[in-house]
Structure 1
């Protein structure tokens, strides 16, 4: 009887001790993606990948970030440029692009799915040769619909842009013939990440309502190199970007913009602060002067959301 009682009380304990570790090992093995890059794979990352798609109002991050080399993208920026037509100009950008609604995997790490954004920005040019007189200002507002899955991203939507000459410029140039340049356009862009820190992209837009010298077709393409890891304290990482544009109103000419320097990226939504150098050669960055050729070089500061 004693032996029987011992057997009855011992066997469930042994069974529990033997089965629980086996269940844990099985779950751990199932969570590992064999196709992932070799190395340590966090359970949190795979848990995020297994999250079902859901609706999210006002997401913190973007699925399709602005091109780093595009001087007309909505962000916060200031560039002091030595200009071939002036002693020096200050090109400013005051704007942002934020998410309104997302349907996809929740969270900010490796976000995927569909997202509706809104963007707005102004692009004033101040002339340092004439005590920071306002030469011109462009205004832009748009609604992009974006999508991302793996290394691919897509963007489509609408934007309105209008260009205005500054009163100080007209006072200095009374013979200048003013044209009210503006356009309403739809666009389609595609980006691809050959590796996480690099992106190549191309975008086409068609202006269905335009005047003041604007014509329907615009194109842009380029390359961004920007490490996606958060900055290690105050230590920066290098960045490089090049952007090319082609516009119908200047006989399918355009311009090339190159920026390079160092960056700091936040954790979480991945906000980006950059300082560095900019070189531009092509038709004017201000659409009021689109038919004029410009070459400029200088120092810039950029903050992207």
Structure 2
């Protein structure tokens, strides 16, 4: 009898265990489906999973709130009719406008996105239930810079680390590190008759190179700090539709590394100080969502007497981005890019100096905002390292950068 009771108890526990296992497996399946749904939509931005049954005013309010979080300073207006989204008051900046449209188009429940102008009746009806901010400008804008950085420029203030090979001036094996950023201070909105955005900011950058070979060390140097350059600049930028402009005044100074000077005492007698103050003006044209072109002349206003620098220079280049796609799992955007930057300096007899980068960039918002880039590079022209500025060199490398 006892054995029979034990058998019944054992059978009941087995059935309960199997049922619990089936329920757990079903819960895991449901969770996997939910995660898959979240990955394939931008529900990380939303408080509910779908807007399929939401009313137009409800959907309109959510989208307006999301845009205000990411693009508050541009006062974009959202109108929803039959789950079709109409965006008005987009910024007069094609790159930003495309980024906002793409952001809204990714949201679940949105059937289409169109750009529209509000009629007077629509504006009055909207003001009845929406209080719109009235801004003439904004302190410390967060979304992006108005003049995008020049990717292939060797002296673009950005955070990066790279390894180079083949440099016959600094050394065959070189590590290059930079720290820099463009910090926007104040942005005026809808400036001048064409109603573009005007911004003033501050730029700062540091570039250091380390020699890991012995091309300059004569058996005494390994991992030498060769040179460090410092830059401080005040850029004033203006953006309108496909155009952006930058007027910048800057100071740059250069300093040979202590390890290099210890290993090369002869440079103590021939020390030069290639410091200067200069001003440049760049124009950038976003020809399409894939291609950007830019050009700018510069004038050296003052230089240190120990390092002769003639007055003029020009810089120009292009950036191509193709085959961009959404990385659904991480909710990011990935885009391959190719960039070329060319310089001609009077002090170098107007000879060509060419830098190229090929790589892949990742960003949270399409086209704008902070990014990370991994790239291979090739440089054919002159060294940028302090008093070696007039010496020809050629090298390749691989690097990682982060910033705008």
TM-score (normalizing by structure 2): 0.61
Deviation at 1:197, TM superposition (A): 2.7
Match of 1:204 in 2: 297
Kept in 1: contact 2:323–2:336 (CA 8 A): no
Secondary structure of residue in 2 paired with 1:249: helix
Tell whether 2:75 aligns with 1:75: no
Deviation at 1:252, TM superposition (A): 1.8
What's the CA shift string for 1:8-36, capped at 9, x where partnerless? xxxxxxxxxxxxxxxx79xx999699xx9
Match of 2:199 in 1: 115
Match of 2:310 in 1: 215
Tell whether 2:231 aligns with 1:140: yes
Aligned partners of 1:96, 1:66: CA distance in 2, in Å? 10
Higher strand share: 1
Match of 1:251 in 2: 349
What's the CA shift string for 1:73-97, capped at 9, x where partnerless? 0010111000242230011111100
Secondary structure of residue in 1 paired with 2:147: coil
Deviation at 1:230, TM superposition (A): 8.0
Deviation at 1:226, TM superposition (A): 3.4
Deviation at 1:216, TM superposition (A): 1.7
Where in structure 1 are there 5+ consecutive unaligned residues?
1-23, 106-110
Residue among 395, 399, 403 paired with 1:296: 395
What's the CA shift string for 1:262-294, capped at 9, x where partnerless? 110122852111101000011102132012111
Deviation at 1:131, TM superposition (A): 3.4
Number of residues of Structure 1 aligned to a counterpart in Structure 2: 270
Deviation at 1:157, TM superposition (A): 2.1
Tell whether 2:95 aligns with 1:95: no
What's the CA shift string for 1:31-90, capped at 9, x where partnerless? 699xx99x94346x868xx98762100011210011111111001011100024223001
Aligned partners of 1:164, 1:46: CA distance in 2, in Å? 55
Kept in 1: contact 2:325–2:335 (CA 8 A): no
Kept in 2: contact 1:182–1:214 (CA 8 A): no
Tell whether 2:359 aligns with 1:261: yes
Residue among 210, 214, 221 paired with 1:126: 210
Deviation at 1:254, TM superposition (A): 4.5
Tell whether 2:139 aligns with 1:57: yes
Structure 2 vs 1, CA of residues 229 and 150 (structure 1 numbering), >3 Å: closer, same or farther? farther
Structure 2 vs 1, CA of residues 31 and 153 (structure 1 numbering), >3 Å: closer, same or farther? closer
Aligned partners of 2:177, 2:87: CA distance in 1, in Å? 51
Secondary structure of residue in 2 paired with 1:87: strand
Kept in 2: contact 1:179–1:213 (CA 8 A): no
TM-score (normalizing by structure 1): 0.79
Structure 2 vs 1, CA of residues 254 and 167 (structure 1 numbering), >3 Å: closer, same or farther? farther
Residue among 180, 183, 188 paired with 2:276: 183
Query: What is the alpha-carbon root mean square deviation over aligned residues?
Result: 3.1
Where in structure 2 are there 5+ consecutive unaligned residues?
1-80, 91-96, 99-104, 106-111, 124-131, 214-220
Aligned partners of 2:301, 2:183: CA distance in 1, in Å? 25
What's the CA shift string for 1:106-159, capped at 9, x where partnerless? xxxxx9510111100001011112432100011101000000110011110200
